[in-house]
Amino acid sequence: QVQLVESGGGLVQPGGSLRLSCAASGFTWDYYAIGWFRQAPGKEREGVLCISSGDSITYYADSAKGRFTISRDNVKNTVFLQMNSLKPEDTGVYYCAPTDYCSADPLEYDYWGQGIQVIVSS
């Protein structure tokens, strides 16, 4: 049974940082890429960035470049999303999901975590 558990979200002031974690189980970790998505209120889920099984990183949100980084711990089956210089427009529910190959299309992902809320506000 595939399980993904996101953590590390919360309320942060503009300019602050958060580190999200995605702990995964129930699939062969080494074979899969992991994507991070976010969904702002009233908007569709959008791809933020993705890390392949070979640690190649693809950014889907231009706004994330230079501020967000992604890494994976293949011992703990966990992916981390480090978010710096946060802006109010980064507010949303963040989700992680495994995939065969990185894609910005949510339809390419079959399993999702429950999501974690990130609120950037003063």
* pLDDT above 90 (res 90): yes
Average pLDDT of the chain, as a whole number: 95
What does the alpha-carbon distance between residue 120 and residue 112 come to, in Å, rounded to a whole number? 23
* pLDDT above 90 (res 26): no
What does the alpha-carbon distance between residue 67 and residue 90 come to, in Å, rounded to a whole number? 11
Residue type for 67, please? R
Q: What is the pLDDT of residue 27?
A: 85
Q: What is the pLDDT of residue 46?
A: 96
Q: How far is CA 86 from CA 64, 69, 70, 97, in A?
A: 9, 12, 15, 22
Q: What is the pLDDT of residue 117?
A: 98
Would you place residue 115 in the very low, low, confident or very high pLDDT band (cuts 50, 70, 90)? Answer: very high
User: First CA to last CA across the chain, in angstroms?
Assistant: 40
Three-class secondary structure of residue 122 per DSSP: coil
Q: Show the tokens assigned to 94.
A: 């963040």
Q: Show the tokens assigned to 3.
A: 């399980």
* pLDDT above 90 (res 109): yes
- State the average pLDDT over residues 80-92: 97
- State the average pLDDT over residues 11-27: 96
Q: What is the pLDDT of residue 83?
A: 98
